[in-house]
Structure 1
């Protein structure tokens, strides 16, 4: 028993009172730019609200029967889960209510959503509200991917205004809903910062400042069930990882099947995530505007690389329509470079 003057177990617990919340982080970032109007900060607060809401519904999904199919399919042909529909509704409402978004592209919506009540809004948002939702019933991590564009002066508010390369993104990131909700966000030319949702406080707390990924790591993440359809350079590349030169160890395989979860692990530990185009899907499977480009921006700002199946820098790929697809390789700089080097041999 503690003597008089001893605080005991609770009293000796160290409590961090200098907590950087996402709200504080965004406000401090805004003060660094004299030209800032606060519009971007308000938009990010609306995003934050949608992430918290989706995290809440995912935690309670099984209890309130939100898993299972909703009875319809989205524009890309995937069966919609109930949570997909809810996540999309939350996103649309949050982007509309902040009054700073002119248009929104969602994986769940066939057409672009125009917010005509705010014709002077300067931003456009592209999102996949719940990526990897086919894993929801199994309790596997899913996530939200987003990209923010600033519309050009004189933009007429048409979907053609949003057919932009990833180099036009002003910010991007993703939230992973797993054991905890992890938010990763980056801004053009800036650092990559990771936040963790503290459910007790209801706040995203900065836990991974200035994320930099390892330059190389012997881990690969790819759906090898598609290997029958891969082009020869991809088969050759993967075989070099599995069957290395004598004296070298083969790479470890890690594949979850949820892009956000696989990408987050790759960002933290290094290695490579690949979803190449193949003979079955010549253009690739992942959407450029709201999956490939936002992830590419995160990985480049963290010191990695991201390319498409033609070995073109992913951030320079221009989508032909709002749901256009691409193959992708992203990860540690040296690991992606190996993909490029193997493809160069075939080009020669």
Structure 2
């Protein structure tokens, strides 16, 4: 079976990008080991005032240190850090955006969680998703998998007993499907989102939602449908972050033949104005996204 390194070489990735992706992938093992001893919540909040799980802070510090010491990245922006980290001694101009521990509230229940990564060239994180060199997420479920795009489709690798990533699914394509997951609660949804959900439910859509973005999206990647975290009446920009969550996962979705949207445009076309910018997010099968944008047509941005 093709290894991750063999795939990266065959895809023509430059050596330093290969090394960076391989380095990130190797962090899955220590992260999994840390789950047992870092399950509780801690007495700190992130920059959004949200209580942090121990794994949030641990994974953030771990990955930041490993990547910062590698000499491969110039900047790193994390959901868990107020400021962008800069590494002036880096010998390369890559910039990384990350959600180090997506779905951390589920760790105590042993449900799947993940790590989301986007890699830019040019030494800065403040770019649109169209400029990504690579995007990946590691999913810690029954298997440890790494879902990756370097701009040549989407490949899924699984970690074997020796810590080697081997190709599990090649050239993934999002099918049209009827699964959906949506954040927020029905009374808080804006009217176009409520109308969209009610319409697809009438057509037989089935809810599949755990609260782990990366796990919920992986179901959509596999079976089709749509993941949503909409604008809410009291939170018109939604909950998820453009740089750390929407852009990397949106890049993977579009590389798999799917689409993304904030209700009006592709998430990959939005240039971030600040690192922690939020956005409504719709990601999944093309047909579902067309229905979303039809529901929001004429409502303004």
**TM interval, short-chain normalised:** over 0.9
Residue 222 (str. 1) matches residue 182 (str. 2): yes
Contact conserved, 1:76 with 1:107, CA < 8 A, in 2?
Answer: no
Q: CA deviation at 1:68?
A: 0.5
Contact 2:25/2:138 (<8 A) preserved: no
Partner SS for 1:171: strand
In the alignment, the residues of structure 1 paired with residue 26 and residue 51 of structure 2 have an alpha-carbon distance, to the nearest angstrom, of 26
What's the CA shift string for 1:42-98, capped at 9, x where partnerless? 11121112223213323xx1xxx3210122111122212111122112211221232
Does 2:171 match 1:210?
yes
How far apart are the structure 2 equivalents of 1:56 and 1:185? Answer: 23
TM-superposed CA distance for 1:264, in Å, is: 0.4
SS of residue in 2 equivalent to 1:170: strand
Which residue does the alignment assign to 1:10?
none
2:139 corresponds to: 176
1:325 alignment partner, SS class: coil
SS in 2 for 1:324: coil
Deviation at 1:236, TM superposition (A): 0.9
Q: Secondary structure at the match of 2:297?
A: helix
SS at match of 2:185: helix
Q: 1:323 aligns with which of 270, 276, 283?
A: 276
Question: Could you say if the C-alpha distance between residues 45 and 97 of structure 1 is closer, same or farther in structure 2, counting changes exceeding 3 Å?
Answer: farther
SS of the residue 2:274 aligns to: coil
- For 2:178 and 2:148, the matched residues in 1 are separated by 26
Cα distance in structure 2, aligned partners of 1:79 and 1:344: 36
CA distance in 2, matches of 1:53, 1:279: 40
TM-aligned CA deviation for residue 99 of structure 1: 0.8
Cα distance in structure 2, aligned partners of 1:115 and 1:22: 27
Gaps of 5+ in 1: 1-18, 156-160, 245-249
Per-residue displacement from partner, 1:2-21 (whole Å, max 9, x unpaired)?
xxxxxxxxxxxxxxxxx212
**Conserved 8 A contact 1:53-1:90:** no
**Structure (1 or 2) with the larger CA radius of gyration:** 1
Determine the structure 1 residue equivalent to 2:235.
281
Offset, 1:147: 0.3
* Equivalent residues in 2 for 1:287-306, closer than 5 Å: 287-306=241-260
Which among 5, 16, 19 is matched to residue 39 of structure 1? 16
Shift of 1:116: 2.0
Report the Cα offset of residue 298 of structure 1: 0.3
How far apart are the structure 1 equivalents of 2:244 and 2:173?
22
Distance in 2 (CA, whole Å) between partners of 1:221 and 1:43 is 32
State the partner residue of 1:92: 64
Aligned residue runs from structure 1 range 1-348, under 5 A:
19-29=1-11, 32=12, 36=14, 38-58=15-35, 61=36, 65-118=37-90, 120-151=91-122, 161-188=124-151, 190-198=152-160, 200-214=161-175, 216-223=176-183, 225-244=184-203, 250-309=204-263, 311-344=264-297
Conserved? CA contact 2:96–2:125, under 8 Å: no
How far is the alpha carbon of 1:106 from its aligned partner? 0.9
Task: Please tell me the root mean square deviation across aligned C-alpha atoms, in Å.
Answer: 1.6
Contact 2:25 2:146 (8 Å CA) reproduced: no
Equivalent residue pairs, number: 300
Distance 1:54 1:104 in 2: 19
Q: TM-score, normalised by structure 1?
A: 0.83
